[in-house]
Structure formats: structure tokens, C-alpha cells
């Protein structure tokens, strides 16, 4: 069987040993769609691909293959070595010709052919490195997805999902340790009018500038998130209302003085914010804190905007 000449695993194996393989091995022909190895079932044979193409699929044999094995390659050797059930389906992607080597014949070849044993070790090492690289890549992708899920795509700061999870943890911790906690809800004054007048692109510029200004001018322990639309939230851990008010007034003043310019250099009208602050009360839920801050914020707006109010509770 001349098809063995291009099998990488048999490089260095003598012609006599190859002839012996043809005699002890089993020639197999698969039609497109035939399943060679079933996931979860024992795979006690090594298969040399002489012609055609095999796909490696997970979950279902009809699933899109995660890898393809072509002429000159092998499948099944790991199952013979470990004796464990197959971790994937192996399915013919087109008419495929194979030479299959049973468990006894496989180990006979390992013992009698040093080149084959070396090739086997090298091949398994390559697969291990590839699997490790795949795992590392998947971990990194998961981290990126997790980060994307917790950050606002426009402003780059934390988003509502992160806020909900973090505020809940802070409330539980501060209740347990009997420490003060304050939350501030911020709204950009007249933002809808500003957006309608200057366009959404400029509105986005204002949102990103305000977000960056808040982050830059708060304490390292203070946490900022975009609540939605033109609203932001600041979390003040271990902070009493008086100190939260001082921090809020400071950033409000800085925002009111910042200069925002369009891409053409034109200076935009000054931006102001209104802020409501609410301290944590005993037994209170995060949603109740945010509601109290929201009421205080609207009091600030009704009193003329560009100011900070602490909830009277």
C-alpha cells in the first residue's frame, strides 16, 4: 500500500515494517458523513488517513468540525494509549481511505520500531502544546468577554451590570462591618436639548468627557459607573454623607469649568451636572439607595441644576 509513504508518523519506519502494517492492518473506506469514532465511546484503534478528509466535531457528529485531518495524518492513537472514551466525534468529510491498526498491532509497532515511538512522542507533544495554547487563548478570550460585559462601550467606565453586582456586595459588606456607604446619582443638565442641537456625535463626546473627568477627580477608592443615557453613579465606600458631599461638590465644580471642543476646534457650551447623594440606611436594599439618590438629584434639578443635594432621610 503505497499510501503509507506519506504518513508522517511512519517516517523512518523500515519498508519491511510498513509491509507488515499492511498485512496486519485493516483497510477501510468511509463515505462522506460516516462516523469513524464516536464521542464518549472507546476508541481502541489508530487510523492512518491515506486519502480523503476527516473532521473532528464536538457534541454532535453533524456539528461543524473544530479541526480537519487529511492524508498523511493519524487519529485515534491517544485513545489506544489512554484507554479512555473518545473526547470528540471523527467524521468523514468526503470519501476517505484509511488503514486501521488495532491495539495489539499498535503496541507491537511501538515496541519494534524506535522511529515510530519517537514520532509518536513528538506528535503527542505537539498536540499537547497546541491544546495548551488553545486553552490559554480561550481563557484570554473569556477574560476579554467578561471585561466587555462589565464596561460601557462608549465611555470605557463600568456599566450598569457591574454597578448592580458591586453595589450589592458593598451594601452587604458595609452592613456587616457597620461602616458608612454613600451613593451618588448624576445627570447631565439639559443633555437632550444639547444632543438635539449639536448632534449625537457631539453628545457622545460630552458623555466620554464627563466620564473621564469624574474618574480623574475622585479618590482611588471611589467607583464610577454609567447608569444609562446621560446618568452616572458614584459609589463612596466607607464615606459619611458630609465627605461624600465635599467630593461631589468638587467634581461638580470641575465639570462646570471643563472646556469641551469639537473635532474642528469649536468650543461647546459649558456642561453642568446635577447630583443626588444617599447614605446607606440599616437594612436597606441597593435599589432603595439608588431611589433615594434619584429623588435628591431631581431636587437639585428643581432648585436650578448644577448643584448637589443629599437625601433627607
Q: Which pLDDT value is given to residue 1?
A: 43
Q: Are residues 166 and 289 in the same domain?
A: yes
Whole domain around residue 251: which residue ranges? Answer: 160-310
Residue 74 belongs to a domain: yes
- pLDDT by position in tens, the chain (length 313): 446 778 888 888 888 888 888 888 899 999 999 999 999 998 889 999 999 999 999 999 999 998 899 998 899 888 888 888 988 999 999 999 999 999 998 888 888 888 888 888 888 878 777 766 666 766 776 776 666 688 998 999 999 999 999 999 999 999 999 999 999 999 999 999 888 888 999 999 999 999 999 999 999 999 999 999 999 999 999 999 999 999 999 999 999 999 998 888 889 899 999 999 999 999 999 999 999 999 999 999 999 999 999 998 7
Q: Are residues 75 and 175 in the same domain?
A: no
Residue 242 belongs to a domain: yes
Question: Looking at residue 180, which CATH number applies to its domain?
Answer: 3.30.70.270
Residue 154 belongs to a domain: no
Which of 120, 136, 152 is the C-terminal boundary of a domain?
Answer: 136
Q: Which grid coordinates belong to 74?
A: 493519524
Which of 136, 152, 182 is the C-terminal boundary of a domain?
Answer: 136
Q: Are 247 and 132 in contact (CB under 8 A)?
A: no
Whole-angstrom distance, CA of residue 39 vs CA of residue 61: 8
Catalytic residue among 11, 140, 230, 267: 230
Residue 42 belongs to a domain: yes
- Annotation says 230 is catalytic: yes
Q: Which pLDDT value is given to residue 34?
A: 95
Q: Which grid coordinates belong to 50?
A: 491515506
Residue 186 belongs to a domain: yes
Q: Are residues 99 and 11 in the same domain?
A: yes
Residue 145 belongs to a domain: no
**Alpha helices (H) along 113-231:** 114-150, 160-177, 191-198, 200-216
Classify residue 285 by its DSSP letter: -
Q: Which pLDDT value is given to residue 285?
A: 94
- pLDDT, tens only, 221-240: 999 999 999 999 999 999 99
Residue 52 belongs to a domain: yes
How many domains is the chain built from?
2
207: Cβ contacts below 8 Å, ≥ 6 apart = 154, 155, 188, 226, 230
Query: What's the pTM value of the predicted model, to 2 decimals?
Result: 0.59
Q: Are residues 205 and 103 in the same domain?
A: no
207 class by beta-carbon count within 10 Å (0-12 exposed, 13-18 middle, 19+ buried): buried
Q: Are residues 171 and 302 in the same domain?
A: yes
Q: Are residues 249 and 197 in the same domain?
A: yes
The position carrying cell 492524508 is 71
Whole-angstrom distance, CA of residue 189 vs CA of residue 76: 67
Residue 13 belongs to a domain: yes
Q: Please state the separation of Cα 82 from the chain's center in Å.
A: 32
Whole-angstrom distance, CA of residue 183 vs CA of residue 286: 9
Q: Which pLDDT value is given to residue 138?
A: 66
Q: Is 238 left (phi over 0), alpha (psi -120 to 50) or beta?
A: left
Q: Are residues 164 and 113 in the same domain?
A: no
N- to C-terminal Cα distance for the chain? 89
**Is 24 strand, coil or helix?**
helix
Which of 71, 104, 136 is the C-terminal boundary of a domain?
Answer: 136
Whole-angstrom distance, CA of residue 218 vs CA of residue 215: 6
Q: Are residues 191 and 263 in the same domain?
A: yes
Whole-angstrom distance, CA of residue 73 vs CA of residue 50: 8
Whole-angstrom distance, CA of residue 230 vs CA of residue 206: 9
Q: Are residues 195 and 282 in the same domain?
A: yes
Q: At what angle do helices 15-24 and 103-112 cross, to 10 degrees?
A: 170
Q: Which grid coordinates belong to 251?
A: 467634581
Q: Are residues 165 and 199 in the same domain?
A: yes
Question: Looking at residue 46, which CATH number applies to its domain?
Answer: 2.60.120.10
Q: Which pLDDT value is given to residue 144?
A: 65
What does the DSSP assignment read for 234-248?
EEEET--HHHHHHHH
266: Cβ contacts below 8 Å, ≥ 6 apart = none
Q: Are residues 131 and 176 in the same domain?
A: no
Q: Are residues 169 and 306 in the same domain?
A: yes
Amino acid at each position: 500500500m503505497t499510501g503509507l509513504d506519506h504518513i508522517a508518523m511512519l517516517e523512518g519506519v523500515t519498508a519491511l515494517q510498513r509491509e507488515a502494517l499492511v498485512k496486519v492492518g485493516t483497510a477501510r473506506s468511509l463515505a462522506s458523513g460516516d462516523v469513524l469514532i464516536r464521542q464518549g465511546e472507546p476508541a481502541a484503534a489508530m487510523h492512518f488517513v491515506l486519502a480523503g478528509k476527516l473532521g473532528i466535531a464536538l457534541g454532535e457528529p453533524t456539528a461543524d468540525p473544530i479541526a480537519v485531518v487529511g492524508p498523511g495524518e493519524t487519529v485515534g492513537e491517544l485513545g489506544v494509549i489512554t484507554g479512555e472514551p473518545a473526547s470528540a466525534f471523527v467524521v468523514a468529510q468526503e470519501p476517505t481511505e484509511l488503514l486501521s491498526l488495532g491495539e495489539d498491532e499498535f503496541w507491537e509497532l511501538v515496541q519494534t520500531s524506535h522511529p515510530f515511538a519517537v514520532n509518536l512522542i513528538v506528535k503527542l507533544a505537539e498536540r499537547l502544546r497546541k491544546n495548551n495554547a488553545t486553552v490559554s487563548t480561550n481563557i484570554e478570550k473569556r477574560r476579554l468577554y467578561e471585561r466587555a460585559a462589565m464596561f460601557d462601550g462608549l465611555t470605557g467606565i463600568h456599566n450598569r451590570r457591574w454597578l448592580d453586582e458591586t453595589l450589592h456586595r458593598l451594601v452587604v459588606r458595609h452592613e456587616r462591618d457597620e461602616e458608612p456607604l454613600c451613593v451618588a446619582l448624576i445627570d447631565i443638565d439639559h443633555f437632550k436639548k444639547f444632543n438635539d442641537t449639536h448632534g449625537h456625535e457631539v453628545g457622545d463626546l460630552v458623555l466620554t468627557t464627563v466620564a473621564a473627568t469624574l474618574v480623574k477627580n475622585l479618590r482611588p477608592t471611589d467607583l464610577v459607573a454609567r447608569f444609562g443615557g446621560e446618568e452616572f453613579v458614584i459609589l463612596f465606600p466607607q464615606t459619611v454623607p458630609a465627605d461624600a458631599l465635599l467630593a461631589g461638590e468638587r467634581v461638580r465644580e470641575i465639570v462646570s469649568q471643563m472646556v469641551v471642543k469639537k473635532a474642528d476646534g469649536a468650543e461647546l457650551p459649558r456642561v453642568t451636572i446635577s447630583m443626588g447623594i444617599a447614605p446607606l440606611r440599616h437594612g436597606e436594599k441597593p435599589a432603595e439607595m439608588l431611589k433615594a439618590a434619584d429623588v435628591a438629584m431631581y431636587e437639585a434639578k428643581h432648585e436650578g441644576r448644577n448643584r448637589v443635594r443629599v437625601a433627607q432621610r
